[in-house]
Amino acid sequence: AESFPPQFKAADGTWYGFAARARVLLVNTKQVAEDEAPRSMFDLTDAKWKGKVGIAKPLFGTTATHAACLFAKLGPERAGQFFRDLKKNQVQILSGNKQVALSVGDGTLPLGLTDTDDAIEEVDKGMPVRIVYLDSEADELGTLFIPNTLAALRGSPNPAAAERLADYLLSPDVEAALARGPSAQIPLNPAVTVPVRVATPATIQAMQVDFEEAARRWRETAEFLTEHFVGPE
């Protein structure tokens, strides 16, 4: 576990992240030409995409995590303005990331923010879609990679068993198996060398985010999103 990048583990070893998914834009290639597709998440607020972008309800799951990471990375003013601009641009709110990916795959929407596990399923099904890694150039904000997380509870009755389980889940074999699976989860341990079907933090610019700061921002972010996406107009 020591070989995992610092961004994906606690400094005091209380939690580790492994087998990530990336937050990506799925594009319907029949509706959006490659040279016209957004390259930055901020492009999604452009009037040309009004009513044409789908996201999962941003109160839970990786969409909520994405929002909390943006609040931590950009600060509440800039991150909040981004979400206000998305709403003003009539972003379509769907029930989950899977529904976003399906809607882009079947042409209901031309664009959708989702995760690589749902996006790659549409690619593998042969749907007319392409995955775009937003803000992924060297001088940009970076694509967000959200790991699965693992921690042992303090005072748990079976600490030795918990440690053995953690060692197993953080092993290269487990990340390799998850990478080969249908969800194409992204290994974070540099010791894992299996082919990966999606981009990784080693191949594109990854957003550098403090996940512990994002956790501290969670309540603030949730209150903001509740007010703007489910509260009264």
Q: Which of 231, 197, 225, 229 is nearest to 64 (CA)?
A: 225
- Domain spans in the chain, listed from the N-terminal domain onward: 1-224
For the stretch 192-213, pLDDT in tens is 999 999 999 999 999 999 999 9
Instruction: Name, in order, each residue with C-beta under 8 angstroms of 121's C-beta and a sequence gap of 6 or more.
Output: 101, 182, 183
CB atoms within 10 A of CB 19: 23
Q: How does residue 233 score in pLDDT terms, banded at 50, 70 and 90? A: very low
CA dihedral sign, ordered 83, 88, 93, 98: negative
CB atoms within 10 A of CB 36: 10
Q: Which of 50, 55, 52, 51 is nearest to 32 (CA)?
A: 52
CA dihedral sign, ordered 62, 134, 202, 76: negative
- pLDDT higher for 116 or 1? 116
User: How far is 45 from 218, CA to CA, in rounded Å?
Assistant: 23
Task: Give me the chain's average pLDDT, please.
Answer: 95
- CATH architecture of the domain 1-224 equals 3-Layer(aba) Sandwich (3.40)
Q: Which of 145, 134, 21 is nearest to 82 (CA)?
A: 134
Would you say residue 79 has pLDDT above 70?
yes
User: How far is 144 from 195, CA to CA, in rounded Å?
Assistant: 20
Mean pLDDT of 77-106: 98
Mean pLDDT of 63-80: 98
Would you say residue 13 has pLDDT above 90?
no
CB atoms within 10 A of CB 164: 11
Specify the pLDDT at position 231: 58
For the stretch 158-172, pLDDT in tens is 999 999 999 999 999
Specify the pLDDT at position 152: 87
For the stretch 213-231, pLDDT in tens is 999 999 999 999 999 988 5
Would you say residue 123 has pLDDT above 90?
yes
Q: The pTM is what?
A: 0.94
Amino acid at 131: I
Would you say residue 41 has pLDDT above 80?
yes
